[in-house]
Amino acid sequence: MSPIKVTVIGSGNWGSAIARIVGETAAQYSNDFNPAVNMWVHEEIWDGMKLSHVINEQHENPKYLPGKKLPENVVAVTDLIEACKDSDLLVFVVPHQFVSGVCEQLQGHLKDGVLAVSLIKDDVLHCRVEGNERPLDEAGLMAIHKMGGIRLVSEEIQDILHIDVAVLMGANLAPEVANDNFCEATIGYEGSAETRALLKKLFQTENFRINVVKDAHTVELCGALKNIVACAAGVTDGLGYGDNTKAAVIRLGLMEITKFVEHFYPGSNLETFFESCGIADLITTCYGGRNRKVCEAFVKTGKPLKVVEEELLKGQSAQGPLCAEEVYGMLKHFEMEAKFPLFCAVHKICSGEMKPTDLIGCLRHHPEHRSK
């Protein structure tokens, strides 16, 4: 087998942090990987120079990851098709709203058998109302586009490019990864054990520890749904509840995540929720993340969510309320609201339909407390 050619699609904060890693490992394992790693850069001007030139000359991305050297074998390429056409492995790390555009541009320009890995964390589910059939047929796809519909980023890539997609998620924010702080990630990939081993080799370093599991949908859904739970955690913080109430809310949220995944993507492995993508990412998001922060302030100040978001996040958005809205639409459609009281309450609180103080009332008779 000839060495695997890798392209990182994206060069923001997270894209640059991950390019540091795969640049290093591709050079280290040159029997497996082509050491020349492409990084697609959406060209822009930085300090009077082209950003791509700066990256290729200074081996640093001064705009999005200043002060961190990129390996010299990472090469910035500004033409998307040029960056990807000879690649065997595409690492997607662009904001989720750009995924479909990127994929459409790449249609017809990729090698056979190319594999994608999605590292896109700001996932918002889109409600998919046709039920559970996989793979989706043409009519199913049309319905998604017309009616809104739950669709994961990995499915979006797969649907447009008809290629295999793995995901990498976990408690690993770009700044900490870029600082070489010890952290973990979970890769989800349903394909061969050989490819799973190669993915681990490509992404794992001494300070970025990888576990690979098979149920990729679980990994990806944990990444999206945790933000809803973080909103609930923020509401409890805003209401001034103690540690135990918050822990109960986080736990009940985790139970809803497991039930949601099991219902809509059957076949998940309970152990996957113990991985970095599961409890670890959930914990950091519920104690430190922006969804928690926004919802805490929303409850404390009584200002509209949009206003709080603008004040606190300066242009970024909190995914939790959006995700809760999509999930709520889906649960309502399937008449499953009673099974997911926390998810539903978060949507109703964020949309102003329910008072924050009613959150606990919704959880008191949670299905989790029924005798087992």
Binding-site size for a copy of itself (CB under 8 A) equals 56
193 is in an annotated binding site: no
Residue 338 touching a copy of itself (CB under 8 A): no
CB 107, min distance to a copy of itself, A: 34
Tokens of 262: 């099991």
Helix, strand, coil percentages in the chain from 3-state DSSP, rounded to 5: 55, 15, 35
CB 287, min distance to a copy of itself, A: 6
C-beta closer to a copy of itself: residue 53 or 263: 263
Which strand (E) or helix (H) includes residue 45?
A: strand 45-46
The answer to whether 246 and 237 have CB atoms below 8 angstroms apart is yes
Note if 226 is an active site residue: yes
Length of the chain: 372
C-beta closer to a copy of itself: residue 156 or 296: 296
Q: How far apart are CA 179 and CA 34, in angstroms?
A: 25
**Can you tell me which of 106, 110, 167, 171 binds a copy of itself, judged by CB under 8 A?**
171
Stretch that binds a copy of itself, among 73-81, 85-93, 182-190, 344-352 (CB under 8 A): 182-190
Residue 192 touching a copy of itself (CB under 8 A): no
Sign of the dihedral defined by the CA atoms of residues 266, 271, 275, 281, in that order:
positive
Q: DSSP class of residue 270?
A: G
> 249-278: which residues touch a copy of itself (CB under 8 A)?
250-251, 254-255, 258, 270-271, 273-276
Bridge partners of 53?
none
C-beta closer to a copy of itself: residue 2 or 244: 244
Q: How far apart are CA 83 and CA 150, in angstroms?
A: 30
Of 5, 63, 68, 226, which one is the catalytic site residue?
A: 226
CB neighbour list of residue 226: distance below 8 Å, 6 or more residues apart: 253, 257, 281, 282, 285, 286
C-beta closer to a copy of itself: residue 7 or 172: 172
Residue that the structure tokens 């600082």 belong to: 179
Binding mask 207-246 for a copy of itself (x = CB under 8 A): x-xxxxx---------------------------xxxxxx
Q: How far apart are CA 343 and CA 359, in angstroms?
A: 10
Q: How far apart are CA 300 and CA 294, in angstroms?
A: 10
3-class state of residue 210 by DSSP: strand
| Catalytic site positions | 226
Binding site listing for substrate: 121, 290-291
What residue ranges bind a copy of itself (CB under 8 A)?
171-173, 175-177, 179, 181-184, 196-197, 200, 204, 206-207, 209-213, 241-248, 250-251, 254-255, 258, 270-271, 273-276, 279-281, 283-284, 287-288, 360, 363-364, 366, 368-369, 371-372
